[in-house]
Homo-oligomer: A and B are copies of this chain.
Amino acid sequence: MFQHSEKSQKLLATLKTFMAEHIYSNEQKYAHALHSAENRYAPMPLMDELKAEAKAAGLWNLFVPEDHAEYCDHGGLSFFDYAPLAEEMGRVLWSPEVFNCNAPDTGNMEVFMNFGTAEQKERWLKPLLAGEIRSSYAMTEPQVASSDATNVQLEIKKEGDEWVLNGRKWFITGAMNERTKIFIVMGKTDPNHSSRHLQQSQVLVPKGTPGLTIVRPLTTLGYDDAPIGHAELVFENVRVPAENILLGEGRGFEIAQSRLGPGRMHHCMRLIGTGQRALELACQRVESRTTFGRKLSKHQSIREEISRSFSDIEMARLLVLKTCHQIDTHGVQATLDMIGATKTSVPLMMQNVIDRCMQMHGAGGLTEDYCMAEGFNYARWCRQADGPDQVHQMALGKQIIQRYAESK
């Protein structure tokens, strides 16, 4: 009960060792390399070294689920078993890439696994699984509330043997990265279709296709999240061959639906680790600092806030685990309530946990000297990722009301 498989436990032990030996010890080096890089989105030698180490340690593509076991060496992991591993990676924000487990590539690889043709898999999935290239998923648009996926407006028109794309996207994670080679683009092929869920399609657009411009990187709370980052893109008469469509015309919404549930959970898993690490740092801080003749750790308000943070993390983690377990056993569609509850609870709780932990660090807590401020930013934008929490609360609230409105 509440216990992970032996495989998961072993991987976690290996991962913890790896984090201690290769990740924490390289945090400053990584920060320095990024800080002094001429191009913040260029490949970083340190990252490539660490990836090689991770592969060698058997810590590669841990996100691959059991039903796609053929794509990994570890035999696949259930959501429930992957959760503690993703949490561990969440302790250092840039570490998931080391294990080829970072967003948005994991979600994109799953799209290829689920919906790609043999050829598409060969060309894009294979190098993605090898960590040789990166990818982007282009859905959000600046002009519409993209949380309602039926709102996207980018036009995808058939002209002869080609699809022609016109439109604008933003918050396209990974687009700036130099190794990113392929974009999965959601748009409308049939905007007048009577069913709002059959108007969309998704097509593959290789980076460098004429007419596709990366306008600018975007920051959130001052962070550019390099080397992955979030970009604004413009599509002007971007042409790709007919076979670049995924799954088929009119099936874009279907792909989006299948992709987003897991992505939300991965963010939440990692955020638990981000919050947990902030808590641990805070514990070390309050034990090491004295004000007004008393160790911070002896102030009652500090103890109350540490206590509250511990409880919040514990509850958030349990919510993630139960939701994972339910996805494993009943699938995403039957778990939309719990996914919604998780998506709208965990980021906000972790934002608050980290806020308290930063405060215990004095002014330094807000700076780059600690990982907390960046973790705070991660939690904060997750409250917007895949649509603002409020949109998910709307759906969840409606579902719960229906469930109980009739009961006694």
Contacts and interface: CB of A to CB of B under 8 A. Distances in A.
Interface of A: 1-3, 20, 24, 80, 140, 142, 145-148, 151, 170-171, 218-223, 279-280, 283-284, 286-292, 297, 299-308, 310-311, 314-316, 318-319, 322, 325, 337-338, 340-342, 344-345, 359, 362-369, 373-374, 376-377, 380-381, 383-385, 388-394, 396-398, 400-401, 403-408
A393 B307 contact: yes
A4 B229 CA distance: 45
A209 B137 CA distance: 53
B314 A316 contact: no
A284 B405 contact: yes
B364 A307 contact: no
B341 A307 contact: yes
Nearest to A220: B366
A407 B148 contact: no
A381 B393 contact: no
Given A304-B394, A341-B311, A408-B20, A219 B368 contact: yes
16 contacts: A142-B364, A145-B291, A219-B368, A221-B223, A222-B223, A280-B404, A284-B405, A287-B405, A299-B300, A302-B397, A304-B390, A305-B397, A307-B394, A308-B393, A362-B384, A363-B385
Nearest to A308: B393
Given A303-B398, A384-B363, A405-B284, A345 B220 contact: no
- Which secondary structure dominates chain A's binding surface? helix
Contacts of A319: 311, 314-315, 318
Nearest to A345: B311
B315 A397 contact: no
Q: Which of A300, A310, A316 has the most CB of B within 10 A?
A: A300
A369 B374 CA distance: 20
B390 A359 contact: yes
A301 B142 CA distance: 23
Nearest to A389: B359
Contacts of A345: 308, 311, 315
A359 B384 contact: yes
Given A151-B291, A220-B366, A299-B300, 12 more contacts: A145-B291, A145-B292, A146-B362, A170-B363, A220-B363, A304-B397, A306-B397, A307-B393, A310-B396, A311-B341, A315-B319, A315-B345
Nearest to A385: B363
B318 A322 contact: yes
Contact of A171 (B2, B310, B363): B363
Nearest to A3: B1
A1 B307 CA distance: 27
Given A318-B319, A341-B311, A303 B222 contact: no
Contacts of A388: 359, 362
Contact of A311 (B310, B311, B344, B365): B344
- Top 5 A-B pairs, shortest CB-CB distance: A222-B222, A303-B397, A283-B404, A318-B318, A301-B301
A401 B2 contact: no
A372 to B, nearest CB: 10
B307 A396 contact: yes
Contacts of A3: 1
Nearest to A284: B405
